[in-house]
């Protein structure tokens, strides 16, 4: 009987020892995670905020960025928990940094090449909006004629800016005359002097035709051409 009574007593003693050990471990955890006051991190650089938190055994968790008109780019805009809150040292302080003002001024783009204008828009944090193109002698092809909104207008970051792009002056159109039977040398000389392009010249045998006469032309008589269009001739040999 005495031997049987020893087993419950030993079990009770073991439970008591485990209870005290748990209490000691728990108390040490509590001591390590003491409650401290959260410092004010607003407007500070992340490195400085980490240093301030480490003095109180707190850690920092960076949760991203957001536009802020009052806080410079890269500095802390807000924190959680708020300054003055009392938390345990095991809890990190979450911060969001400023990406700069949410409102930007539209840069002036008129007269600039398209690639330069797009670079300026990207640098300002703006997007390219609808782009229209028009023929005009005012500016060479590929340069910006106008924009919307106007330069200096304050808009939200990411706002699309509409662009009007020049395609250069519209080429004049001419009606192709009938050049069959004329001497090729004189015709080609006049066309070149007027700015037309004789792109292809072929010499062919043509029965009954004197050498050097135009026997075929492209475009044919009556077609409309511009100075940039290709003109071809077959000439008798």
Contact partners, residue 158, CB within 8 Å, separation at least 6: 125, 126, 127
Nearest partner of 165 among 150, 149, 151, 146, judged by Cα: 146
Across 152-179, average pLDDT: 92
pLDDT tier at 114 (50, 70, 90 boundaries)?
Answer: very high
Indicate the pTM of the whole model: 0.47
Over residues 223-232, the pLDDT tens digits come to 999 888 999 9
Contact partners, residue 99, CB within 8 Å, separation at least 6: 65, 66, 67, 68, 73
pLDDT on residue 106: 97
Contact partners, residue 216, CB within 8 Å, separation at least 6: 180, 204, 233, 234
Distance CA 237, CA 234 (A): 10
pLDDT on residue 3: 47
Domains within the chain, CATH numbers bracketed: 32-100 (3.30.10.20), 103-166 (3.30.10.20), 174-236 (3.30.10.20)
Give the chain's mean pLDDT: 88
Over residues 79-102, the pLDDT tens digits come to 999 999 999 999 999 999 998 888
């Amino acid at each position: 009987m005495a031997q049987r009574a020893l087993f419950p007593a030993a079990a009770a003693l073991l439970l008591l020892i485990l209870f005290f050990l748990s209490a000691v471990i728990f108390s040490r955890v509590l001591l390590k995670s003491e409650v401290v006051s959260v410092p004010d991190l607003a407007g500070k650089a992340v490195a400085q905020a980490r240093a301030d938190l480490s003095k109180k055994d707190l850690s920092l968790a960076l949760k991203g960025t957001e536009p802020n008109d009052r806080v410079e780019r890269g500095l802390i805009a807000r924190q959680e928990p708020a300054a003055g809150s009392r938390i345990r040292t095991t809890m990190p302080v979450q911060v969001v940094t400023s990406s700069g003002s949410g409102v930007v001024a539209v840069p002036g783009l008129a007269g600039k090449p398209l690639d330069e204008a797009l670079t300026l828009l990207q640098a300002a944090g703006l997007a390219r909006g609808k782009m229209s193109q028009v023929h005009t002698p005012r500016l060479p092809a590929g340069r910006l004629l106008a924009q919307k909104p106007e330069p200096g207008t304050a808009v939200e970051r990411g706002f699309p800016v509409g662009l009007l792009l020049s395609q250069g002056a519209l080429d004049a159109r001419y009606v192709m005359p009938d050049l069959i039977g004329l001497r090729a040398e004189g015709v080609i000389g006049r066309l070149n002097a007027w700015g037309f392009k004789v792109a292809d010249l072929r010499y062919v045998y043509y029965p009954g035709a004197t050498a050097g006469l135009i026997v075929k032309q492209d475009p044919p008589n009556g077609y409309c051409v511009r100075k940039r269009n290709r003109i071809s001739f077959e000439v008798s040999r």
